Amino acid sequence: MDFVNMKGYHSINIQMICDPQFLITDVVAKWPGSVHDSRIFRESSICAAFENGQLDGLLLGDSGYACRKFLLTPYLHAQTQSQERYNRALTKTRVLIEQTFGVLMRRFACLSYGLRVDEVKACRIAMACAVLHNIGIKRQDVFARGTPPSDDHPMNVTEANNQNGAHYRDYICATYFPE
């Protein structure tokens, strides 16, 4: 029953992180479909690396995650135009991971139609597909990837580094999406 997800079918919950060029930079493929995304992230090595200061940068997540200084999430109830612009920018940028999933599933139809193997093999297949996807991206294969976003406003991630997630999100919002 652990592998039965919220939609009522068997699945594995896979966490992926990608960069603006659609390269998959992190994959966690081992959790049953019933496990929430935020738990997978909390228990991942990449979360620990951010918490311990081994990694510097920002991740973007949806509202299912807790806002942290390294994991920006949308405002649930935007109250200002700045917050609305921030939410729109976050959504437009987060679409990269959705596009990456789409390319991955078009490239490897077995991921769309379902694997008829045990969960261990399914996790290994998903990992292999991610590796092969990256090879395809690096070789500039035929799959259209869209246009990566421009870097018009490079962020100084170390500013306000001692702030908690909500305060850091407010800092990003006020600095890059002013009224």
6 Cβ contact partners less than 8 Å away, ≥ 6 residues apart: 34
- Looking at the predicted structure, is the pLDDT value of residue 152 above 70? no
More confident residue, 45 or 160: 45
Residues 56 and 157: beta-carbon distance below 8 Å: yes
Distance CA 146, CA 154 (A): 21
Indicate the DSSP class of residue 56: -
Annotated domain spans of the chain: 12-141+160-176
C-beta atoms surrounding 33 within 10 Å: 18
Q: What is the pLDDT of residues 13-66, one digit of tens each?
A: 899 999 999 999 999 999 988 889 999 999 999 999 999 999 999 999 999 999
Detail the DSSP E strand segments found in the chain: 12-18, 24-32, 59-60, 71-72
Distance CA 128, CA 133 (A): 8
Q: What is the pLDDT of residues 85-112, one digit of tens each?
A: 999 999 999 999 999 999 999 999 999 8
Distance CA 146, CA 140 (A): 12
The model's confidence at residue 1, banded by pLDDT at 50, 70 and 90, is low
The model's pTM is 0.80
